[in-house]
Structure 1
Amino acid sequence: MVRCIVIPRDGNGTPRIQELDGIRDFQKVTGGWLEPIDLPALAVTIWVNEASERDRSRFNSRATALWWFYSTRMHRQRFILGDVVLTGDDNGEVGAEVPDDIIQGMLTPHEFVIQVSLEGDELWRNTPVCFDNIFDAIQWCMLVASTVRPGPGFRITSTV
């Protein structure tokens, strides 16, 4: 059994911890064959249904924002569709548990504060913008960053 975070597609519930027992359980959650999307910055892997685009699955804004915000790639990729499973970084093998700090950061209620750093400035300043979950905070950062050019840097801190 592997402790994972299931991030449902939009309109299908809230993220939750779930124990999964192997590839079949992962496929049952995602609805098909598995494709890994690694996020080395968080030491996690997002498991998606590789046929979700072809099958026109529903948009998963939380998983997409998580991938875009913490991706090591400099340009935006496709959208993530359907329900996904988040595990620890497992080097392409299904089976690593989600680290405790990731579970705490994503699922434990606390206030997330957006910090900003202007271009060329290394000083981070708190903004009055706060959220009660990491997914809304990430989506706000992505929205503002995509509309302001050249853009300030954003990071998210939490007050426990």
Structure 2
Amino acid sequence: MVTGIVIPADESQPIFQREFKRLSEYQEVVGGYIEAVDLGPLGASFFAHDESKLIGSPINRRATLAWWLACPYMRHRDTIGGDVVLVGLPDSEGDTKSVPDELIALLFTTKAYKAEYQTADSNDTFNGNSMIYEDYWEAVQAALVKFDRWEAVIRARVVPA
């Protein structure tokens, strides 16, 4: 069984954990055939509907922001539509793994967040400021705004405060 996190496109709906046994269960959540969207630095992937744009699914802002944060080269180039499932990266045999425990903790038990930035002149360290956010998605959006406005930033992340 694989533990995933469902992220509904409708932001009035909370994210939630769910156990998955079969491909059909992922397809049920996303509403059709799935495609994997890699979130490499997070050690995770999204399963999303492979034709979400063609069928007019609403943009999943939360999933899109998380994707842009993990994969800066996709910022403002593409979006993720519809409900998605966050899972771990596949193992060496291609089998889906559960979402990493640290992501579960970050999304469900962390009470305060901060954004940190890595700049071109300090590729080994992340630095932040005193801004604290109570909502993970608000912190992700703030990190991306800074990323867009400060050319020296090469990576950003959201961590517990």
TM-score scaled by length of structure 2: 0.84
Aligned to 2:48: 48
Contact 2:4 2:85 in 1 (8 A): yes
Aligned to 2:136: 134
Aligned to 1:21: 21
Alignment map for 1:1-160 (pairs within 5 Å): 1-71=1-71, 74-76=73-75, 77-90=77-90, 93=94, 95-116=96-117, 120-121=121-122, 124-146=126-148, 148-152=149-153, 154-159=156-161
Question: 1:17-66: CA deviations, max 9, x gaps?
Answer: 01122111100000010000112211111000011101111111111111
**How many angstroms does 1:144 deviate by?**
2.8
**How many angstroms does 1:12 deviate by?**
4.7
Letter in 1 for 2:73: M
Which contiguous aligned blocks of 4+ residues in structure 1 show a shift greater than 3 angstroms? 91-95, 115-119, 121-126, 151-155
Contact 2:106 2:159 in 1 (8 A): no
Question: 1:121-153: CA deviations, max 9, x gaps?
Answer: 56754423211232221111112322x252445
Contact 1:5 1:87 in 2 (8 A): yes
Root-mean-square deviation (CA, aligned residues, Å) is 2.4
**How many angstroms does 1:155 deviate by?**
3.6
Contact 2:67 2:74 in 1 (8 A): no
Alpha-carbon distance between aligned partners in 1 of 2:35 and 2:111, rounded to the nearest angstrom? 31
**Mean Cα displacement is larger for which, 57-66 or 117-126?**
117-126
What is the identity percentage for the equivalent residue pairs of Structure 1 and Structure 2?
25
Q: Counterpart of 1:85 in 2: which secondary structure?
A: strand
Q: Runs of 5+ in structure 1 lacking a partner?
A: none
